[in-house]
Amino acid sequence: MASDFFVEYPERTDDELLLLSSDRASLTTEAAAALDAELRRRNLTESDQAKYQQFVKRNEQREADRRRRKILGTRRDRHSWIDLFWATIAMALISFTYVALPSRYHLKPDWQEAAVDVMFASVFLAVASSVWRRKIGFWMSLVISSAIHLVVVHAWIQRVGNLSRGQGKLAVLLGFVLFFAVYGILRVLRRNFYGEEVRHNT
């Protein structure tokens, strides 16, 4: 039996032998002796065995992390879901507060429909734009674009009447387009007036 190990182990790679040495407890006495002899012949020391065990542990950790990401998603995915949750909560609170107000404080139907579309776009931009929220240029752009958005959607409603479901989606999408357009224009203006240093401020 021992001779079988002395024939088998020389045919194995260094990694296979080091893997065997990391699970020495499962080997028989004859197999362990043959393994030690082959490791000595190849000048694979205990230091090499320790390094290989660390390598195996790192691979196992990476594989565990990969499986966990498949189940729970990446950190970015989780942040996206959290941002979506807070955007939904914010819109629910705004809607509840508005409905709770006396009717005399409610907007006219055409302005109300326009305000809902603007709210969807503005709240999602404010909540989801975690990278830009600390920049004054972001909030300036959001206020300006939301005002333009409200006027444009209101004019659209007055022209065609109540918006269809598809038109409503386009109205919300318009808010995102207007925001990025205004934000881009403000960045260009600030760069022209204040120079390259605005990259750190906007």
Q: Specify whether 87 is located in the same domain as 159.
A: yes
Q: What is the DSSP secondary-structure string of 64-104? A: HHHHHHHHH--HHHHHHHHHHHHHHHHHHHHHHHHHHS-GG
Q: Are 92 and 150 in contact (CB under 8 A)?
A: no
Q: Quick one: pLDDT at residue 116?
A: 84
Q: Are 150 and 115 in contact (CB under 8 A)?
A: yes
Collapsing DSSP to helix, strand or coil, 1 comes out as coil
Q: Are 83 and 75 in contact (CB under 8 A)?
A: no
Q: Which residue has the higher pLDDT, 118 or 86?
A: 118
Q: Specify whether 33 is located in the same domain as 50.
A: yes
Q: Is the pTM of this model over 0.95?
A: no
Q: Specify whether 138 is located in the same domain as 89.
A: yes
Q: Specify whether 52 is located in the same domain as 95.
A: no
Q: Specify whether 95 is located in the same domain as 191.
A: yes
Q: Specify whether 84 is located in the same domain as 134.
A: yes
The pLDDT confidence band at residue 200, using thresholds 50, 70 and 90, is very low
Find, among 176, 174, 180, 78, the residue nearest to 124 by Cα. 176
Q: Quick one: pLDDT at residue 168?
A: 87
CA-to-CA separations, 14 to 10, 23, 50, 57, 77, in angstroms, rounded: 9, 15, 13, 17, 40
Give the chain's domain count: 2
| Residue 185: how many other CB atoms lie within 10 Å | 13
pLDDT in tens, 147-194: 999 999 989 988 888 888 888 889 989 999 999 999 899 888 888 877
Q: Specify whether 80 is located in the same domain as 123.
A: yes
**Domain that residue 13 falls in:** 2-72
Q: Specify whether 129 is located in the same domain as 58.
A: no
